[in-house]
Structure 1
Amino acid sequence: MSLEAFKSRVLPVKDKLYRFALRFLRDEDEARDVVQEVLIKVWNKREEMDQLENMEAWCMRITRNVSLDRLKSKHNKYTTPIEEGFDVSGGDRETPYRSTELSDTMKTIGSFIQALPEKQRQVIQLRDVEGYSYQEISEIMEIDMNQVKVNLFRARKAVKENLLNINAYGLG
């Protein structure tokens, strides 16, 4: 792979790699380090790149593996607001009350997602935040597509039930 091919195929996904790493690590500096490490690994393997069909999924898989390695080595504890990955603006109808309500809801949803089992958390991040297809998630996570669908279904169901329970009891 030439430098031009690297710039056109790999660098455009750098922001997605960063957001994905940040979801794992909850530390902006660590996430930037992971992305840098991933880009170096991709560059060093550039001779093999022409054989890949989906460069983005391959880069995401490397990002996932490097992030998990860092987590295992450091046992980081963290919290980060989920609204960083979502547009919670209400447009012209935005009021301070509405803005606060949306922000609180997103924080609540974020805490529900953080409480999910690891696979469910990763699948919901890749599908609902990053917008990857089931096939791409299957490749990134190296799991069967049925497992992707089951984990996504269970994750969405758990978040929905938790949100409904809070709203039903007036705690939200």
Structure 2
Amino acid sequence: MGQKLELFDVTIIGGGPAGLYAAFYSGMRDMKTKLIEAREELGGMYPEKIVWDVGGMATVRAAQLTKVMIQQAQTFDPTIVLGQQITGLERLVDGTMRITSATGEQHWSRTLILAIGHGALKLAKLNLPGAEKYEKDNLHYNVTDVASFRDKRVLISGGGDSAVDWANELVGIASLLRLCTAGSTLMVWSGM
């Protein structure tokens, strides 16, 4: 292999809620675990989102949930690597895998779990001429601060449950709210 790599039983790509729970669960099963996250922090992309579907819990903000999940994931001392986007994977002759990051760092694992969510690295953007000039103030590809939509007219365009979740979250905050589910990308337009 060239450089001496430490072999892990399981390597998890993605440090959002699914990756955090996978780290806890594999540690609970006495597996030597590594969790790799492309961003510089654990917890996922949508800290303001309300999470409705965790068994045994009342609705909770994602930031509160992931704070507890980060603590839980660290119970069995997994190796946590931040700021590494994975760009390569090679299955070796012995069945193990060599995982390579954009920084050139390599990781060695028996098992790989992909818990990468949808778009942490590259958001799908509105493909219309001139759309970028609205991205600072009116066109948003995710919601990072629910309060910034207070008393605004909001149009959410997107497919799936995420668009509906955000619409539910913004009811009572926005002065007017419209939901359009024709597309597959979540976009939020706010105006006066």
TM-score, with normalisation over the residues of structure 2? 0.26
Q: Identify, as 1 or 2, the structure richer in strand.
A: 2
Q: Identify, as 1 or 2, the structure richer in helix.
A: 1
TM-score, with normalisation over the residues of structure 1? 0.28
